Structure 1
């Protein structure tokens, strides 16, 4: 979510006002669609790996907590890299930052598919995280900057790409994982080649002629300076807390579901489909009806309740399956809500705001997977879900007690 587009959010209403917002969401330039489809493929990478976590543990003789380090190294590198993606993209430009990220993902995922030890694989996932940070961070800023339909619709389009990638990924991952646990890693590498060809062909050589994409060189200190704005800090810490629940569901639940690669693929396919549908169609309606902050609190509360259900009835397979799929609907709404809120949270460039937010968010994503695995080893399989629910409720509490500092987020959205 970070490039360095010279867009200020001090007047967010202007960014999405006038005729642009009245245009169809589907009326976009080739450059936007190139980033959109590449984003789908990039987010397939997350879902592709999920169904094979138990298989990796079995084949590499690793414990569940060791396997969850695949998410920890990935997210830890992403968290740190988010601080420099703005500085890198402001020097390389949007197009070459995206392409660099794709190349890094392809190389490290291919090497991961050829590795023979859990610790080697964990290290290679960290390299994958570096590539993903360059691509994912820049992709959101690119779509927002290049879209002619305003910030709100651009974010919906980005979240649609996220949802489609996450939903299709597990199905392909389950199919490839049924052949070999190495299949999804090599599959990601192959898909990244397709994404590379699409971007280098369809994106313009330079976007500098478009005033929306003019870039200035930024400092790695800019995201830290941005966190002086209380609203952005609140959203970042809330996302870090909420990620404890998110990655408990994503990284730990495959170990207690008792399903093979194909079964896990179908469960997370259902999860991803609901995530995609709600992020595009339901979240904007919730924003209009109840406001961004209230809707976010409601979705996070529902997510916490689903985690409690999973924690109480961990031994009942169908309960876990239904809860995971329903969680997709809640998470889809929340992803769009919080992304929109962050884009309008502080009077700084969108690129800088998203870098600061993502740094905090991925710290939570780095700690949570390993922590969930260790809780199960120390106590029992129920505890990770209950603890995850507690962290999600803490995020709700943090947002709620800072409501007066977040009011301008809804004011900005109403201006679109």
Structure 2
């Protein structure tokens, strides 16, 4: 990330107002990932729903985000980045607000799907806009974006816990209100962005998956997200914490580790050990932690400690996998990003629902063993593309700076 020179360290946080407006919206958007975590057990109780039914909150949101990823390039190449961002923000404001007004889990699941559509438009475009508007170059923009991602993932569950303590509807109204502020700030402070010269086809991201490197990384990320969202979407139940604020604190501690290791740990590990080696150890570590949760599922303390520690590996993974995808991909960065986002979010969307169903059919621990297996299977999948990753890791820093514009939408959160 080039954070060792004084200029690079000083510059990420000296930015024009347009960048701060989008960065704030990024924080709120990433808060939305973990915001519902602390209220999952309460929702199950109050709406008389099973964990599998409640986990559809993640499934509808992420599966729609996945499918919508395929169309983001098509949209933004026609209306430009600013209006794509604004359309995404409007959809999140509307659907997050509506999710707080309904009385049944089905209604919330439906509105979360609309929220997922807005999220796809927003996430895919936000880094492109930050890179295009930021001072201090590509490295500075990435540090700012990773900081927003880390802050959002850390604060989301805590805010969800505070608002969820008042009512389960609170987190939904909270996101809607904060995104409305971000929407106004983006409208006011972000100057018009030019439309790309070339229009992107709807089938381009799917066609890109014919490339072995991109498909390998996509399948690895699908398996990673299966394990990750088993952790995020199902681990709150065996913790035995019915107070949303207590659950919020657990995931806040987890999120702090995610943030620290995404922003500082990943660049260090990448320099010291290389991308591929770090990812192998990462996936193994996550597999072991999920197996520990399965073994100690009847002990809330074991589950809580293992979940918090997993933040270390999740943080490293967030930064390194998406960088690896862009390294091995032979197609334009935005198209690669959409293709990869589509495959990985499918895994994230299906996992929480499947975990709930597996637990109902067998017992809670089995859902976590399946998640652990997904992490472990991801290792040989990644190893099959080892040569591509190590070969692609050699570009000079000058080349990175040169391709900063096209690389923009690459570093989406792995969550």
Please say whether Structure 1 and Structure 2 have the same fold, judged by a TM-score greater than 0.5: yes
Asked if the contact 1:301/1:393 (under 8 Å) is kept, the reply is: yes
- Bigger mean CA offset, 90-99 vs 21-30: 21-30
Of 114, 128, 151, 1:141 maps to 128
Using the TM superposition, give the Cα deviation of residue 179 of structure 1 relative to its aligned residue in structure 2, in angstroms: 0.8
- Bigger mean CA offset, 173-182 vs 148-157: 148-157
Could you say which residue in structure 2 is the equivalent of 1:387? 370
Of 90, 97, 109, 1:122 maps to 109
Could you say which residue in structure 2 is the equivalent of 1:300? 283
| 2:74 is aligned with 1:87 | yes
| 2:352 is aligned with 1:369 | yes
Of 188, 193, 200, 1:218 maps to 200
Of 21, 32, 39, 2:26 maps to 39
- Bigger mean CA offset, 42-51 vs 259-268: 42-51
Supply the distance in 2 between the matched residues of 1:335 and 1:156 (Cα, whole angstroms).
Answer: 13
Asked if the contact 1:346/1:353 (under 8 Å) is kept, the reply is: yes
Could you say which residue in structure 1 is the equivalent of 2:269? 286
| 2:237 is aligned with 1:250 | no
Q: Which has the higher contact order (CA 8 A, sep 6+)?
A: 1
- How has the CA–CA distance of structure 1 residues 157 and 294 changed in structure 2, closer, same or farther, with 3 Å as cutoff? farther
- Bigger mean CA offset, 47-56 vs 136-145: 136-145
Using the TM superposition, give the Cα deviation of residue 158 of structure 1 relative to its aligned residue in structure 2, in angstroms: 1.9
Q: TM-score, normalised by structure 1?
A: 0.90
- How has the CA–CA distance of structure 1 residues 59 and 332 changed in structure 2, closer, same or farther, with 3 Å as cutoff? same
Asked if the contact 1:238/1:395 (under 8 Å) is kept, the reply is: yes
Q: Deviations over 1:303-354 (max 9, x none)?
A: 1111111111111111111111111111011100112222333232221111
- How has the CA–CA distance of structure 1 residues 322 and 285 changed in structure 2, closer, same or farther, with 3 Å as cutoff? same
Could you say which residue in structure 2 is the equivalent of 1:309? 292
Of 166, 172, 195, 2:153 maps to 166
Asked if the contact 1:283/1:337 (under 8 Å) is kept, the reply is: yes
Of 334, 347, 352, 2:317 maps to 334
| 2:193 is aligned with 1:207 | yes
Q: Deviations over 1:118-163 (max 9, x none)?
A: 1111111111100111111111232334445454553343222111
Asked if the contact 2:74/2:201 (under 8 Å) is kept, the reply is: yes
Other structure's SS at 1:411 match? coil
Could you say which residue in structure 2 is the equivalent of 1:186? 173
Could you say which residue in structure 1 is the equivalent of 2:409? none
Supply the distance in 2 between the matched residues of 1:303 and 1:315 (Cα, whole angstroms).
Answer: 19
Asked if the contact 1:155/1:340 (under 8 Å) is kept, the reply is: no
Supply the distance in 2 between the matched residues of 1:83 and 1:263 (Cα, whole angstroms).
Answer: 38
- Bigger mean CA offset, 21-30 vs 36-45: 21-30
Could you say which residue in structure 2 is the equivalent of 1:359? 342
Other structure's SS at 1:115 match? coil
Supply the distance in 2 between the matched residues of 1:59 and 1:124 (Cα, whole angstroms).
Answer: 18
- How has the CA–CA distance of structure 1 residues 223 and 149 changed in structure 2, closer, same or farther, with 3 Å as cutoff? farther
Supply the distance in 1 between the matched residues of 2:7 and 2:392 (Cα, whole angstroms).
Answer: 20
Asked if the contact 1:83/1:223 (under 8 Å) is kept, the reply is: yes
Supply the distance in 2 between the matched residues of 1:195 and 1:413 (Cα, whole angstroms).
Answer: 36
Supply the distance in 1 between the matched residues of 2:358 and 2:279 (Cα, whole angstroms).
Answer: 28
Residues 103-114 of structure 1 mapped to structure 2, 5 A cutoff? 103-114=90-101
Contiguous gaps of at least 5 residues in structure 1: 1-12
Asked if the contact 1:157/1:280 (under 8 Å) is kept, the reply is: no
Asked if the contact 2:65/2:345 (under 8 Å) is kept, the reply is: yes
Of 55, 70, 84, 2:42 maps to 55
Could you say which residue in structure 2 is the equivalent of 1:229? 211
- How has the CA–CA distance of structure 1 residues 318 and 25 changed in structure 2, closer, same or farther, with 3 Å as cutoff? same
Using the TM superposition, give the Cα deviation of residue 102 of structure 1 relative to its aligned residue in structure 2, in angstroms: 0.8
Could you say which residue in structure 1 is the equivalent of 2:407? none
Using the TM superposition, give the Cα deviation of residue 60 of structure 1 relative to its aligned residue in structure 2, in angstroms: 1.1
- How has the CA–CA distance of structure 1 residues 226 and 110 changed in structure 2, closer, same or farther, with 3 Å as cutoff? same
Asked if the contact 1:141/1:350 (under 8 Å) is kept, the reply is: no
Asked if the contact 2:161/2:246 (under 8 Å) is kept, the reply is: yes
Supply the distance in 1 between the matched residues of 2:208 and 2:14 (Cα, whole angstroms).
Answer: 33
Other structure's SS at 1:370 match? helix
Supply the distance in 2 between the matched residues of 1:142 and 1:376 (Cα, whole angstroms).
Answer: 42
Q: Deviations over 1:155-183 (max 9, x none)?
A: 34322211111111111111111111011
- How has the CA–CA distance of structure 1 residues 398 and 314 changed in structure 2, closer, same or farther, with 3 Å as cutoff? same
| 2:329 is aligned with 1:346 | yes
